[in-house]
Structure formats: C-alpha cells, structure tokens
Chains A and B, each alone.
Chain A
C-alpha cells in the first residue's frame, strides 16, 4: 500500500513537474560541467595538444575541480555597482534556459510539459537571456562591460529577427507550435526530417543554416562572441564577476547551447525520431543533440572572431532577406 501511494504521488502532476525540474537542472548542471571538459579536450585535439590530463583519468575530474574552485572563491561585488541587478543578472541568463528545456520532448513521452505553444514559449524566454548579459554589463559599472552590454543588445536584435522568421516558416509547414507534434510529423526515414523536406520548403537546408548561425550568435559563441571578445573587452560583460557569479554565466552559456541545439534537433533533425526504427527515442535525440553541440565547439576553435559590423551586416543584409524569401516561398507553397 505504501508503494502504491508513492507511485500515485509520483504520477501526480505537481510531483511530475518537480521531478522533471530536478532532472533538467541535474542534466544542465552535468552537461555544463562535462561540455566544458569536452570543449577543452576537443580544443586540445584541434590544437595538437592533449587538453586536461591532470585531475582524474583523462582529466575527467577537471570540471569538478573547477566547480570547487569557483564555489570557494569570494564573491566580490565592486564598489558602486547596482547590487541587486549585479546579483540577479547571472540568474536571468540561467533560468530562461532551464525553463525552456521543460517543453523539449526528449523522447516520445518524455517532456516535462507538453504544451501547445511550446515553441512560442521557448523564444519568449529566449529573449530574456539577452537581458541577463545586458544587465550584468550595465550594473557592473565598468566601461568594458558597458560596451559589451551595448553590443549584446544590438546583436540580439539583429539575430532574433531571422531566427523568428525561420521558425515562422517551420510553423507554416507544420501547422503547430507543439514540439511533440512537430517531431511526430517527422516520423519515418531521415528524408522526412524538415531539414530535407524540399517539397514543403525548397530552401530547407538554408533555413537550417540560418537557424544554426543565429543560434551561435544568440548564445554568444565564436565566431560571434562579441560580448566577451577577450582581446578587445577583457571579459566583456563578465569582467567584474568572480566566483560563482561568473560560474553561473559560464553554465548558462552551455545551457543555452544545449537549448539551441535541442530546438534545432526538434525543428530540423526529427527530434527523437529514429531513422531506422531501432533503439529508444531518447538515444536518437541525444545523438543528434550532441552532434550539433560538437559542431558548435568545432566552429569555435576553427574560426577567428567576426567584426562587429560584419555580424550586423550578415544579419540585416543576408540572413533577414533570405529568411523572408523562404517564408514567402513556403507560404506560397502551402497555399498551393
């Protein structure tokens, strides 16, 4: 009877949500830690060096050592800063990613919340994360940080537009904002994925490329890492942050990469759908997700940073017109 009540409690909606929330937080925490390890190892391989080797076998305990170091450091709040905003800013960047991950369908019945406006929710919360960097830079009372904050705002404005246009194109084709349904629509062999659906969107691969580029820009990853261009702005918006203040920003960067890659997987790579019909959906989802995450790391260690106006030019002169054109083309096709 005891077991029965426990399982009953666990299947109740609030308990399910709490469990999923804990699960997502653990997932993001572990990923942030071990993606740093993957990134450092990967960077090492790209640069003909071994990467971390000292702590644990193959440096596997390095992220834990780093986390311990960050946790034990003093949290310095510089004189004259806006204390509230300064403290809140890292959380503002971290929490939207955590919340948005709640609607991602990891497997067929594995989503914290299966809501109809899932896609809208992700992009609504995605816009908040820009606020995080901006407020962090603004409240730091540091010139480098303020320049960085200004850059982040114009970068985000420039890149939210093409990404939303691309998403609208996808919504037009799928007819739903429910991520589960979007994935369900892509069932079957891999040419059913929206990445290869030339019949409904002739420019589907281009759409994916635009989405991918914008995701790099939104998460402030190289080659679009204007916000923390270390050779120009020291550490940009994060200059004044120490200890876990910086640590949360750092984790949020990886959480946002995870989120961006998850959305790309759902929208273009068929989510948890297996192209050959073996193994559970979670496996396929994670495989596609980590393939994208790896490509993000690959890009970072391959290209130099773009110029700031180059980045804006790319968005306003290439990405927005192209994505607008795709939108019109797809809507015409849908109408036919």
Chain B
C-alpha cells in the first residue's frame, strides 16, 4: 500500500527526491572550467572557497573559476560534513532515529522532527491529539523565526555589516529560552514524538510566547527602518543575483528562494499538514527574483509566523498531548510513506520505506538546501565575486542540511 501525498508541484518524476540532479545542461552558452581559457580567450584561475572560509558558514567548498573578479564557474563540492543520516536510519528503530532529525538542519530542528514523526504517524495511522498539533505549530513557527533571525544576522555579516547579527541573536535568545523551557534543549530539541509530544507546555511558555509576539513586532519594524532601507544594502541586493521561477523549478529550489521568484509555493498551503489550514496567514511572494526579493520574503515570513503563533496560542485546545495507543515497539506496515513540511529553508520531505520490521528498510531525506545550492552554479555565472557571495548568502544554506 502506498500512501502518497498530493503530487509535489515542483519536483520532477515521482520518487525523484533529489531534484538537484537534473540532466539539464547548466546553461546555454555556459563556460565549463576546462574550456574557459579557450572560450573567453583570457586566463582564468581557480579560487577555493572553503571548506574553511568565512563566507560559507560551515564546511562547504565551492571551486570557483575566476576571470579577474568575475565568476566563470562556481562548482559546489559537497560531502565535507556527510554523516550518513539516511544509512543510520536503516539500522535503528523509528524512536532511536528521532534525535538524528534535529541534527540535519540544526537551525530548524522542530520542522525536521515534524516531518519524520509525521511520516511514521501516517504509516502507523496514529491520530495525534489536537492540542499536540497546535503546540507543534507554535514551536515550529517559533523555530522558523529563530532560523530566519540567524540567517538575517549571518547574511548581513556576509555583506560586511556586523552589528545586526548581535541584534538578531538578542531576539533569537528569547525564542531559545522559551523552547529550552519546554524541551530542555536549545537547538536539537527532539520534542515531537510519534503520536504527540515529549511533554505538555506550561503557562510560563504560553505567556512568554505572547510577550515575545508583542515584543517582536516593533523589533521587525526597527529592522526594516535601520537595515532594509539602508541605501548600501539596497544597492547591494536590488537586481543582484536574479533567479527565475523556471530555474527554481528546474533545480527543485523551494522555500523563500522560489517565493522570492514570484511562485507562491508553500507546503503549508499547497499540501496542508498538521493544523495549518485552521490558521489565517499569507504566503509572502515577491516576483523580482533578486537577492532583495528573497530577503524581503524572509522578513515578511517572520511577521506571518508571528500571526500564526498568536492565533495558535489563543485557540490552543485543552486535552492530552500524546495519542492513546502508541505501540511501544513500532512496526510500520509494509509500504512507502511520505510526509513533507515547510521547513525554514523550504520543502523538507521524509520518505520511509517499511518492510514490516522494527527498523525502516530505507529513509530518504529530501532536504531543501541541496536543491537550493544546486542552482548556485548556474545563477552565479558571470557575477562579481562579492555579488556571488551575496547570492549565496540569500539562499540561506545550512551545510549539514546539504550533506546530511
């Protein structure tokens, strides 16, 4: 029996969970590193950006063939932090794999755990209590804001502005404190369990969340006035690094990247999961496709997440946070199960193939960053080095998420 979600709008043939690998040529007229000197008649040189470089925020390596300051070809080399999460899933039980899901994208751990428990719950046909689903939404959205704040700070750091990072971390600290209070961890939460949650939230968390929402709105306004409207920032982002909707589709780019190219693609809206349909929120899209559009999408998303959190805290139903009959030893029925969520960086999908044993036969993790990175090679062609790095920053890459 195969339980398939609604067919993904953007991905290629069914089951092709790594949309980064397309057979498309990189671009008409593209220059390969090997034939670059012959093609341009000029000498090129190779710069290794990484695996240790301040701009990559992790162990990503980008082999850049440069013509002066112009990028002829930027070839990402992955694998420096490959930890075999998918293979690890094949020799431990579903419950034992849960902590791994927090360590793929360490900035958006909640949503990743959500996708995995979602797939298992879908397979085992476990009905999750409504209170648990609401709390999942609240914590996931808090996590999304925290993740976007880190991106915002790090992106401005890439652009040479150091100060916003500290402001972003100031706000993020409040979220981490809230989540630490209920989960006991600051980044790798592992808070969702198959069938519900690890524990219920307390009043301190709910009141703290309400206060955070009211405090965060003026902060976002301040960020807009101080940073978004800064002339230097605007000059560096507007019109720089255009990515077309067509290119996003070809590489399977999702999340703020495709929404910054004018496609209103949001898993929460198109393939609704959990209790998201019960909330009123907008999917911010900007048609320009440049780095500024992606920047604005994320800034606007933080405001939308605040809206969702506010509604969810107000409507939070009473009741248990764990399903009643969750078997101690989980054996999923034979089959192929998918569950996709909208993580902070885009569509994250878990595909579990079960052969009716305690351990899964295969777990495929479709991570957004790999697809988002894949388009970098094509999108950065002919750009100046600083612009290419601004483009890379606007993709919001988390390196362990690429390699997993």
Q: Is B220 an interface residue (CB 8 A)?
A: no
Contact B166 A48 (CB under 8 A): yes
Q: For the complex, is B47 an interface residue (Cβ under 8 Å from A)? A: yes
A47 contacts partner chain B, Cβ-Cβ < 8 Å: yes
Instruction: Contact check, A305 vs B159: say whether CB atoms are below 8 A apart.
Output: yes
Given contacts A231-B55, A232-B389, contact A308 B384 (CB under 8 A): yes
Give the chain B neighbours of A307 by CB distance below 8 A.
Answer: 235-236, 384, 386-387
- Residues of B365-400 whose CB lies within 8 A of A: 384-387, 389
Give every chain B residue within 8 A of A306 (Cβ-Cβ): 232, 235-236
CA of A303 to CA of B159 in the docked complex: distance in angstroms?
9
- Tell whether, in the assembled complex, residue B385 and residue A147 are in contact, meaning their CB atoms are under 8 Å apart: yes
Inter-chain contact A144/B47, CB cutoff 8 Å: yes
Whether the pair A234, B53 counts as a contact (CB closer than 8 A) is yes
CB contacts (< 8 Å) of B160 on chain A: these are 222-223, 225, 229, 231, 304-305
B68 proximity list for chain A (CB < 8 A): 150
Q: How far is the CA of A230 from the CA of B162 in the complex (A)?
A: 11
Complex Cα gap A2–B39 (Å): 81
Q: Select from chain B the residue with minimum beta-carbon distance to A146.
A: B45
CB-contact partner of A232 in B156, B232, B386, under 8 A: B386
* B162 cross-chain contacts in A, Cβ below 8 A: 43, 47, 301
- A150 contacts which chain B residues (CB < 8 A)? 68-69
B182 surroundings in chain A (CB, below 8 A): none
| B55 CB, min distance to chain A CBs, angstroms | 4
Selected from A48, A223, A232, A305, the residue in CB contact (under 8 A) with B385 is: A232
Complex CA–CA separation, A144 to B48 (angstroms): 10
Residues of B within 8 A of A231 (CB): 54-55, 157-160, 389
Query: Are B236 and A47 interface neighbours, CB within 8 A?
Result: no
Mask: chain B, 154-186; 1 = CB below 8 Å from A; 0 = not: 001111111100110010000000000000000
- Give the number of residue pairs across the A-B interface with Cβ within 8 Å: 75
A229 in contact with B236 given A47-B166, A302-B163, A303-B161 (CB within 8 Å): no
**Is residue B34 contacting chain A, with contact meaning CB distance below 8 A?**
no
Residues of chain B within 8 A of A49, CB atoms compared: 166
* Least distance between A318 CB and chain B CB atoms (Å): 13
Cβ of B233 < 8 Å from any Cβ of A? yes
Is B236 a contact partner of A310 (Cβ separation < 8 A)?
yes
Separation of A130 and B293 alpha carbons in the complex (Å)? 38
Minimum CB distance partner of A233 in chain B:
B385
User: A273 → chain B, closest Cβ, in Å?
Assistant: 35
User: Which residues of the other chain, A, contact B158 by a CB distance below 8 angstroms?
Assistant: 231
Q: Which residues of B contact A47 (CB under 8 A)?
A: 162-163, 166-167
Question: How many angstroms from the CA of A225 to the CA of B160 in the assembled complex?
Answer: 9
Q: Which residues of A contact B230 (CB under 8 A)?
A: 303-304
B69 and A304 within 8 A (CB): no
Give the docked Cα–Cα distance between A314 and B230 (Å). Answer: 16
Closest chain-B Cβ to A52's Cβ sits at a distance in Å of 15
Mask, A111-155, CB within 8 Å of B = 1, is 000000000000000000000000000000001100100110000
Most buried by B among A49, A301, A304, A310: A304
Task: Please provide the chain B residues from 36 to 63 with a CB less than 8 Å away from any CB of chain A in the complex.
Answer: 45, 47, 53-55
CA distance A307 to B384 in the complex (A): 10
Chain A residues within an 8 Å CB radius of B387: 307
Q: Which residues of A contact B235 (CB under 8 A)?
A: 306-307, 310
The answer to whether B156 and A304 have CB atoms under 8 Å apart is yes
- Residues in chain B near residue A232, CB distance under 8 A: 55, 385-386, 389
Closest A residue to B227 by CB, please name it: A304
Cβ–Cβ contact B54 & A46, under 8 A = no
For residue B117, give the distance in angstroms from its CB to the closest CB of chain A.
37
Known: A229-B386, A230-B54, A307-B387. A48 touches B159 (CB 8 A): no
- For B45, B233, B235, the residue with the greatest tally of chain A CB atoms inside 10 Å of its CB is B235
A48-B166, A49-B166, A304-B160 given; A143·B385 CB < 8 A: no
Chain A residues in 8 Å Cβ range of B386: 229, 232, 305, 307-308
Assess the A147–B69 pair: CB atoms within 8 A.
yes
Tell me whether B236 and A48 are in contact (CB under 8 A). Answer: no
Q: Report the Cα distance A308→B388, complex, angstroms.
A: 13
| Chain B nearest Cβ from A175, distance in angstroms | 38
**Smallest distance from the beta carbon of A80 to chain B beta carbons, Å?**
16
Chain B residues with CB below 8 A from A304, complex form: 156, 159-161, 230, 232-233, 236
Docked pose: A227 CA to B285 CA in angstroms: 36
Interface string of A294-313 (1 = CB under 8 A from B): 00000001111111111000
Docked CA distance A306–B230 (Å): 11
A229 to B55, CA, bound (A): 10
Given A47-B162, A147-B385, A231-B159, are A303 and B45 neighbors across the interface (CB < 8 Å)?
A: no
Taking the nearest CB of chain A, how far is it from the CB of B129, in angstroms? 41
**Chain A minimum-CB-distance residue to B226:** A302
Chain A residues with CB under 8 Å of B233's CB are 304
Contacts of B47 in A (CB 8 A): 143-144
Q: Which of A231, A302, A310 has the most CB of B within 10 A?
A: A231
A313 CB to nearest chain B CB (Å): 9
Smallest CB-CB separation from A144: which chain B residue? B47
Q: Are B384 and A309 in contact (CB under 8 A)?
A: yes
Most chain A CB within 10 A, of B68, B160, B236, is at: B160
Q: Which residues of B contact A143 (CB under 8 A)?
A: 45, 47
Instruction: Pick from A144, A222, A229 the residue with the most CB of B within 10 Å.
Output: A229
Give bound CA distance, A232 to B47, whole Å.
11
CA distance A47 to B386 in the complex (A): 25
A-B contact pairs, 22 of them (CB 8 A): A47-B166, A48-B167, A143-B47, A144-B47, A147-B69, A147-B385, A150-B68, A223-B160, A229-B160, A231-B54, A231-B158, A231-B159, A231-B160, A232-B386, A303-B161, A303-B230, A304-B160, A304-B232, A306-B232, A306-B235, A307-B384, A307-B386
The 10 A-B pairs of least Cβ separation, nearest first, read A305-B160, A304-B161, A47-B166, A304-B159, A231-B55, A231-B158, A304-B160, A307-B236, A47-B163, A230-B54
Q: Given A305-B159, A306-B232, list of 20 further CB < 8 A pairs?
A: A46-B163, A47-B163, A47-B167, A48-B170, A49-B166, A143-B45, A150-B69, A222-B160, A223-B160, A229-B160, A229-B386, A230-B54, A231-B160, A302-B161, A302-B163, A303-B161, A304-B161, A305-B161, A305-B236, A305-B386
Q: Which residue numbers of B lie inside 8 Å of A, CB to CB?
A: 45, 47, 53-55, 68-69, 156-163, 166-167, 170, 230, 232-233, 235-236, 384-387, 389
